[in-house]
């Protein structure tokens, strides 16, 4: 199973072998994402708006 970490800047879930977030190029990560949401359509997703997510992908609810 692949390990994941969570970008502190945009809350995206990132594979732990990457040292840069592919979405926002942030380099600060947290280790224990709490809850996960998959955003498929950020423009029409209330959760995405709430979390300030503008791109589709997998995100942690809390960092
Ligand atoms: Zn990021």
Dihedral of CA 6/23/40/45: which sign? positive
Q: What is the pTM of this model?
A: 0.78
CB 15 within 8 A of CB 6: no
Q: Give the CATH number of the domain where residue 24 resides.
A: 2.20.28.90
Domain hosting residue 41, numbered range: 4-62
The tens-digit pLDDT sequence of the chain (63 residues) is: 678 999 999 999 999 999 999 999 999 999 888 889 999 999 999 989 988 899 999 999 876
Domain count of the fold of the chain: 1
What's the chain's Rg over C-alpha atoms?
Answer: 11
For the chain, the straight-line distance linking the first and the last C-alpha, in angstroms and rounded, comes to 21
CA of 35 to the centre of ligand 1 (A): 16
CA of 51 to the centre of ligand 1 (A): 13
DSSP state letter for 62: E
């Amino acid at each position: 199973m692949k390990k994941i970490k969570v970008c502190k800047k945009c809350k995206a879930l990132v594979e732990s072998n990457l040292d840069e977030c592919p979405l926002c190029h942030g380099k600060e990560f947290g280790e224990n994402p709490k809850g996960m949401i998959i955003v498929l359509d950020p423009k029409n997703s209330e959760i995405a708006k709430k979390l300030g997510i503008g791109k589709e992908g997998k995100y942690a609810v809390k960092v």
